[in-house]
Structure 1
Amino acid sequence: MIGRWPTALGANLLLGIPGVVPIWLLWFLAASRYDPEPTENDGMALWLVIIAPVVGLYVLLWWTANSALARRTSLSAQTYWLLSGVGTFLPTIALVLLHP
């Protein structure tokens, strides 16, 4: 058995570092969807071509790593997935809070 929460949190903190990019892309897509720039007249299709592969590859990597770790840890499923979600978003939250 892998340790309780430090392994799960550490792995997801490491996965959260490159995860800043897809999280930011999704935020930017949502923000520009409801308040578009007046000079952006190319539509949303180009954004979806860029965002879909980046987010899709990241989600695939995240899910694969976490499903392998979830089977080996002694945490309950609910606790593990909550901890992994929080650990993944911590680098993004740190960047938002520490940005000058």
Structure 2
Amino acid sequence: MTRRWQVALGANVLLGIPGVIPIWVLWFLAASWASGPEPTDNDPMVLWLPIAAIVIVPYVLLWMSVNRSLARRSSLPPGIYWWLSALATFLPTTALIIYSP
């Protein structure tokens, strides 16, 4: 049984490595919708929704299944566990943002 928070942290950092792509897709959609369409943009944003669904939904299902199994075995309170998991998942993306040229 996993009783330490290090297992949850390590698993979510590892899940955050492929999670860079869905996080980027979400950021791209949010930035595109917030700024509005370009005057010369002929590609509708609606075409990005199936791409986002294909990328994001499997990742979220994987993340939830791994974390549900780890949360049951962890001795951390549920609120702390889920915050730790979410923050650890964003560590690889944050590192890429900080250390990008």
Post-superposition shift, 1:12? 0.1
Tell me how far apart the structure 1 counterparts of residues 99 and 70 of structure 2 sit (CA, whole Å): 30
SS of the counterpart of 1:3?
A: coil
Tell me how far apart the structure 2 counterparts of residues 55 and 8 of structure 1 sit (CA, whole Å): 21
Gaps of 5+ in 2: none
| Runs of 4+ in structure 1 over 6 Å off | none
Map Cα deviations across residues 20-39 of structure 1 (whole Å, 9 max, x no partner): 00000000011111223343
Map Cα deviations across residues 30-62 of structure 1 (whole Å, 9 max, x no partner): 111122334322212210010012100100000
Tell me how far apart the structure 2 counterparts of residues 3 and 71 of structure 1 sit (CA, whole Å): 10
Quote the residue 1:48 is aligned against. 49
How many residue pairs match? The answer is 100
Same amino acid, percent of matched pairs: 62
Tell me how far apart the structure 2 counterparts of residues 96 and 31 of structure 1 sit (CA, whole Å): 16
Tell me how far apart the structure 2 counterparts of residues 39 and 6 of structure 1 sit (CA, whole Å): 49
Quote the residue 1:33 is aligned against. 33
Letter in 2 for 1:32: S
Tell me how far apart the structure 2 counterparts of residues 56 and 43 of structure 1 sit (CA, whole Å): 21
State the TM-score, normalized to the length of structure 1. 0.94
State the TM-score, normalized to the length of structure 2. 0.93
CA RMSD of aligned residues (A): 1.1
